[in-house]
Amino acid sequence: MKLLINSAQQAIDHPLTWEHPIEEIKKLKKGQYIKIGVHSLDPKCFGERFWAKVLSVSKTKQTALVKIEQSDMLFSDVHGYNHNDKVTVNFDNICSVWEEE
């Protein structure tokens, strides 16, 4: 099951506890890291969030191709995402943006 969290919708549904990083996403570029997450209906895993490195960005499609860089994921067997997987994500799926210094 691979249902990515919609961070933009989370911010609407939970404005006091969730902030969608829209300004950082507007400046997103190759080499930055983003946090994405996945929902799960499995009782042993309610979801998981993980870091991925941006490989390319399409501002027109509002998507980014990323490579998951989180070797200590706990529930890959449940949600199907693994360390080193390449995934295309929508900007709405980005929970956080971080640039390595």
What pLDDT, in 10s, does the model give residues 18-44? 999 999 999 999 999 999 999 877 777
Dist CA 97 CA 11 (whole Å): 15
- List domains and CATH numbers for the chain: 3-98 (2.30.30.140)
What pLDDT, in 10s, does the model give residues 48-101? 999 999 999 999 999 999 999 999 999 888 888 999 999 999 999 999 999 776
pTM: 0.89
The phi, psi pair for 16, rounded to 5°, reads -85, -20
